[in-house]
Amino acid sequence: MEGKKGTVCVTGGAGYIGSWLIMRLLERGYSVRTTVRSNPEFKKDLSHLTSLPGASESLKIFNADLNKPETFIAPIEGCDGVFHTAHPVDFERIEADDATIKMAVQGTLGILKLCLNSKTVKRVVYTSSISAIMYNKSGLTVLDENTWTDVDFCRTAKLPGSSYCIPKTLAEQAALNFAQETGLEVVTIVPSLVVGPFICPHFPSSNHLALSLIMGNRERYKYLTRPQMVHIDDVVSGHIYLLECPDVEGRYICSAVHTTFLQLVKFLSVRYPEFRLPPLDLTKEMEEVKPVELSSKKLLDLGYSYKYGIEEMFDGAIKSCKEKGFLQS
C-alpha cells in the first residue's frame, strides 16, 4: 500500500499488541478505528487509548464481539487495511472447547467476509502465534512457515495450552484458505513470545510468562523450555511493514531471539541481580528439551529488520511492570 496514509481498523485494540499498534499507527499518520469487546459487568478502562497523541482527532473506538460479526461492519466500512489482533484467550484450560474454537474461526471468517464485501479493504494482516507452529512431532530443530501445529496431536496428548494453540492454528488456517478461495489479500504474522513495555492497564499474559522466572512462578516458567522472543515494537513494526509492503503472501514468522532455559536464567541473574531466581541446579530438567529455532528468513528477505534484543525486551517489560505496580524489586 503506497501513497497518503489512509484509514485502518485494528480489532482487539484494548490488548497488548493492539494498543501498541494503534499508538504507532497514529504516529505514522493513519486514521484508526479500533474495536473493543464490551462487557456489561464492568466498564473497560480505555484511557490508554484515548490519551494517545493524535487520538482525539484520528481514533474512533467501537464495541464489537467476535460472536457477532455484524458488529464489525461499522469499524471496517471504508477502511484501506485491517489488522485482526482480537482472539479469545484462555491459557489455563488444557482442552479447547467448541465455543472457543467457533468464536476464533467463525469470528475471523466473519471479519474477512466483511473486508471482502467492503470493496475498500486492500489487505488484512492477521495476528497469529508461535503456538500455531510449535506443537507437532516433526522433530525439526529449525521451524519455518511451512511448519504447522498438529491439532490432532494436541488433542490426543492433552498438551498444556491447547485451549489457545488449537483455536489459533485453526483460525489462521481458515484465514489463509479464505484468501486463497476469494482473492482477498490476507497475510499472517506469527510472533514468538512478545516481551517489552506496555501501555495497556492489565498485565499482558506474554510478559507475565516471560517474567515468571523473576516472579518465582514455576507453573508458568515451566513453559519456557525453548524460549523464542520478540520485542513488542518489532512485532508492531512487522504488522505495519506487512500492510505497506507491495508484494507479500502467506505467513511470516516474527521472532528475534532464540535461547535455552539455562541461558535465560543466567542472563536474568546477571542483568537483574536484585531479583531472586531459581537455583541453577533446579533448571537441569528444563534443559532436556531439544532446543528449536524459529526462522524469520522470509520476513527478513522482504527487507525487514529487528531493532531490539533481549536486553531491551526485559528492561522495558520490567520498567512497565514497576510503573504499574505489578512488580517490586
Does the residue 208 lie in any domain?
Answer: no
Does the residue 288 lie in any domain?
Answer: no
Q: Quote the CA–CA distance of 286 and 283 in Å, as a whole number.
A: 5
Contact criterion met (CB below 8 Å) for 277 and 215 = no
- For the cut 50, the answer to whether the pLDDT of residue 1 exceeds it is no
Contact criterion met (CB below 8 Å) for 214 and 152 = no
Number of domains in the chain: 1
Does the residue 1 lie in any domain?
Answer: no
DSSP assignment of 235-276: HHHHHHHHHH-SS--EEEEE--EE--HHHHHHHHHHH-TTS-
Domain residues for 248? 7-195+228-256+293-305
Q: What is the mean pLDDT of the chain?
A: 90
Model confidence band, residue 282 (pLDDT cutoffs 50, 70, 90)? low
pLDDT in tens, 107-150: 999 999 999 999 999 999 999 999 999 988 888 889 999 999 99
Does the residue 81 lie in any domain?
Answer: yes
Does the residue 282 lie in any domain?
Answer: no
Q: How far is CA 149 from CA 128, 188, 211, 252, 257, in A?
A: 12, 15, 25, 15, 20
Q: How far is CA 215 from CA 265, 274, 277, 310, in A?
A: 12, 12, 8, 18
End-to-end CA distance of the chain: 45
pLDDT in tens, 290-303: 678 899 999 999 99
The interaxial angle of helices 162-182 and 98-118, nearest 10 deg, is 30
Does the residue 32 lie in any domain?
Answer: yes
pLDDT in tens, 198-234: 999 999 999 999 999 999 887 788 788 889 999 999 9
pLDDT in tens, 76-98: 999 999 999 987 655 445 555 67
Residue 188 belongs to a domain with what CATH number?
3.40.50.720
- State what percent of residues in the chain have pLDDT above 70: 91
b/e string for 134-170 if b means 16 or more Cβ within 10 A? bbbeeeeeebbbebbbbbeebeeeebbbbbbbbbbbb
Does the residue 56 lie in any domain?
Answer: yes
Task: Give this prediction's pTM.
Answer: 0.93
Does the residue 328 lie in any domain?
Answer: no
- Residue 70 has phi, psi (to 5 degrees) of -65, -20
